[in-house]
Amino acid sequence: MNETLLGLGGVQWALFGAGAAAILAGIGSAIGITAAAQTASGILSEDDTKFGQLLPLAAMPGTQGIYGFIVAVLVMVFFDILGGNTQLTLQAGLAIFLACLPTGFLGLVTAIYQGRTAAGAAGIVAAGKRAPALVFPALVETYAIFALIVTILMLIGLQAGFGG
């Protein structure tokens, strides 16, 4: 008989982790983009010539959602879930679930704060200053990238250990 925890087997826990990474990072991206875009929209209502400078600031918090999507796809590909693998043990599924958490949670938090930082940086653009406005939100991006790297490395290690 297959082991379960809370009624979920290994494949379900792996999918839960994949979904959590995509959903949490996606929520963060939606919130972050909204914060940055609201500020950018206000600036553009006064001066539409700044669109090219403001668009990257508004879009930048969307990268975390992309990272969550990448993790979800990697889980399904690395562990052959798309090919119908239903043989993941509970231990493997829980390990995959845990490996997805850095990208999910860091994606959620960093996207929100990156949006706030980008909204503040939009003020640099609005004031017509020559300082590179993307630098401050890029600092926040660093931690989302670190989380993605950690998740990918853990998934690679688990794939080697549990197979796909």
For the domain that residue 81 is a member of, what is the CATH number?
Answer: 1.20.120.610
| Exposure b/e, 22-31, CB count within 10 A at least 16 = b | bbbbbbbbbb
pLDDT at 7: 81
Is 38 part of any domain? yes
The boundaries of the domain holding residue 150 are: 10-162
Is 3 part of any domain? no
pLDDT at 2: 77
pLDDT at 6: 81
DSSP state of 8: B
Is 43 part of any domain? yes
- Would you give per-residue pLDDT tens digits along the chain (164 residues)? 579 888 889 999 999 999 999 999 999 999 999 999 999 999 999 999 999 999 999 999 999 999 999 999 999 999 998 888 778 999 999 999 999 999 999 999 999 999 999 999 999 999 999 889 999 999 999 999 999 999 999 999 999 887 55
The whole-model pTM stands at 0.92
Q: How many CB atoms lie within 10 A of CB 151?
A: 27
Asked if 76 and 82 count as a contact pair (C-beta separation under 8 A), the reply is yes
Is 4 part of any domain? no
Is 151 part of any domain? yes
DSSP 129-148: --S-TTHHHHHHHHHHHHHH
pLDDT at 163: 58
Is 1 part of any domain? no
Q: What share of the chain is helix, strand, coil (3-state, %, to 5)?
A: 80, 0, 20
Torsion of CA 145, 66, 57, 108, to 10 degrees: -70
pLDDT at 33: 98
State how many domains the chain has. Answer: 1
Is 16 part of any domain? yes
